[in-house]
Amino acid sequence: MGQGTFTIMPQIVADGLSVNMNRVRCPNPDTKFVPDSGPTVASRTTMVVGSTLFDAAIKLKAQMEAYASEAFFGGAPAELNEHFFKNTYTNETIPFERVADRLIKEKGPQRVYNQFKLPPQIRWDQRTFVGDSYPSYSWGCNVAEVEVNPLTLEIKVKKVTSFWDIGRVINPVLAKGQIEGGLTQALGFALMEKMGIKDGLFDASRMQTYVVPTALDTPEMSIDFLEFPFTGTALGAKGVGEVPIDGLAPAIANAVESATGVRINELPITPEKLLSKLGAVV
């Protein structure tokens, strides 16, 4: 829910097919029709499902081009480009709809099957647990600027600057939103969100007691992408799901150490923890 799958999968398929995105529909996944491709984990959907669909779309495009070539261009190569199939020898064009209508009438709905394959350089031995357990990684770099109130020891994050390599960025708006959201959660994780156990019960089991960042707590954020497409798939995308939450808390801890001279090794970094450490220093 909310990962952007229903936006980016049609984008990827439209790109692979060279058709307009509004020609692509993305039904709810159903294992009645397709094999179970595994869970939504490890930020893998874009890389694994996206690549599978991208390669499938390329196969489907080739299938349709082969039909257009044979049925309309007397065997001359056909190229699908948005609205037309083009005869690459004569530059003659036939509208997509005409080719598609006739193809469906003559041969019925076209289907292609494609399965994700790990790139050959990735090796993993499930028996000995040796090798590359993940084919690729996303990377991020976070810079946190913080102010610590010397009287109350309250910590305020003023600005976060971050750069991300998530491979090829499929949808910059959604990817940036995921990072803003991840950084906001990471900020809560670093400074505010505290869940303890008292007499066998969670002491922060409700939103009144488990305090998460609001719009007033989030700092200015500067977010940029450095795209190094993953070479193991044609699509080149990696994942953006989890990586945004990983780096900011350590960056804030480093910034707090730089400001106060003490290092807090346990999250959240609260004024109470700073006070006890600073007390020990003084």
Partner 1 sequence: MNKIVRTWKLNGEQRTVEFPPMRRLLDVLRDNLSLKGTKEGCSEGECGACTVLLNGKPVTSCLIAAGQVPDGAELMTVEGLEHTEGGRLLQHQYIEKGAAQCGFCIPGMLMASYAYLAGADDVDLREAAMREAHAGNICRCTGYEKNYGSRERRRRTMAERRETRKNRTTGPR
Chain positions contacting partner 1, by CB under 8 A: 1-4, 173-174, 176-178, 180-181, 183-185, 206-208, 212, 214-216, 218, 220-221
Nearer to partner 1, 207 or 281 (CB): 207
Q: To the nearest whole angstrom, how small is the minimum distance from the Cβ of residue 175 to partner 1?
A: 10
The label of the residue with tokens 């500067």 reads: 222
Burial 222-249 (b: 16+ CB within 10 A, else e): ebebeeebbebbebbbbbbbebbbebbb
Q: To the nearest whole angstrom, how small is the minimum distance from the Cβ of residue 202 to partner 1?
A: 15
Nearer to partner 1, 5 or 254 (CB): 5
φ, ψ for residue 31, nearest 5 deg: -75, 0
Which DSSP state fits 42?
T
Q: To the nearest whole angstrom, how small is the minimum distance from the Cβ of residue 172 to partner 1?
A: 9
Q: Please give the helix or strand (H or E) that residue 150 lies within, else none.
A: none
Nearer to partner 1, 215 or 281 (CB): 215
Q: To the nearest whole angstrom, how small is the minimum distance from the Cβ of residue 8 to partner 1?
A: 12
Nearer to partner 1, 80 or 190 (CB): 190
In three-state form (DSSP H/G/I as H, E/B as E, the rest C), the secondary structure along 153-198 is CCEEEEEEEEEEECECCCCHHHHHHHHHHHHHHHHHHHHCCCCCEE
DSSP lists the bridge partners of residue 130 as 125
Q: To the nearest whole angstrom, how small is the minimum distance from the Cβ of residue 278 to partner 1?
A: 30
Nearer to partner 1, 104 or 212 (CB): 212
